[in-house]
Structure 1
Amino acid sequence: MYFLSKELYFPPVEEASYEGILAVGGDLSVERLLLAYRNGIFPWFDAEEPILWWSPSERMVVYPHDYKVSKSMRNILNRNIFEVTINKDFKSVIENCQKMERKGQDGTWITDDIIKSYTELHQLGKAISFEVWQNNELVGGLYGVDLGHVFCGESMFSKVPNASKVAFVKLVEYLKLRNYKLLDCQIHNDHLEKLGAFEISRSAFIRILKSE
């Protein structure tokens, strides 16, 4: 495992541990974050831990052009019970993601420093949010890092049933219209699998990431 200094550097992703941890330490500057994402690396750590940088051997992804919306989700979209916006309230989205209670997790990895850094990325046009509204109330959404041909999803939240699913489908539609090659969902979980994401190898992911 590599311990980062102030130098803006990451070791090759092939040096990651079996669990997927590549490096420890460094900072959350926008320069380091962009370097990380452009090389298939992302931060993920608890508030009590040092910054951990990950590049797992398997990557959860969606190919926007191949994505099929389920019949049940299409019915929900057709009912027009939600309004979806883009970049209308990034700060509220990331703060709601921070507050969401998640099964099997104590606390959150979205620290105040994470919020500060990703808000800076948003102000630079490198992070975007999707907001889902119902009766003028923010009820769901997601945010992530935009690399121009790959979108790296970071987190989502939902206050009412199906709100985050709607945000996810609208994101995929957005990426498809703009000819993005990949939606990166990072690490497998059952919710992402039900939404249609699947795993590919790190090497396959890196090839797509580097094929701008």
Structure 2
Amino acid sequence: MTPEIFALCVSAALLELDTTYAFQLTLSRGIIAGPLLSLWTGDLMAGIQVGVFTELLFSDVNPLGGILPPSAVVCSAVTLALHAMGIELYFAFFFGVVGAILFALAEKFMRKNRFKWLIFWERRVMQQPGQINHAILSALANAFLSTFLLIFLFTWLCGKGLVWLVPHIPVQAHFACRFAYMAVPWIGLATLVPAFRLKTR
């Protein structure tokens, strides 16, 4: 794994903090995260394409009622990292989607287990108000580190597996994956049209 891909994983973990933990400047949206992360790989057009496709694909998932949507940052990061390793974009994207879904499940599990840790810090801050900055920084560092490890390990495992697997994939599978990849924006638009119709009524 090259230093650029390592830096991409670090940047993705930082951008993921923007979703709920810090800032919330919408930097974690796929349309923004994709081009930003692609600066590490040097393929801006791939970053824009992945960002737009990710945005459209996940546009119908609303984070309401305890629903944790797939991470657009993780999807973009895994896709661009695998593409930088030499994997075709239409293969890499689907592994990015799988990574985003798995990350959402892992994040949900971590949030449940983080509850006891938050109670501990709440009691400590109540006793020592000066500890609040330390508590916030500790929470951010913990979220960053766990996100980085998940992105890095998933990307590394997929990269190792795909480098070995891709040469053995038949041409028909390449064609099918390329066709499915190009259908992604249309699937996203198909989910948006009914939503806009409902809002205009």
Does TM-score exceed 0.5, indicating one fold?
no
Shorter-chain TM-score range: under 0.3
Flag the structure with higher strand content: 1
Flag the structure with higher helix content: 2
- Using the size of structure 2 for normalisation, the TM-score is 0.24
Larger-Rg structure: 2
- Using the size of structure 1 for normalisation, the TM-score is 0.23
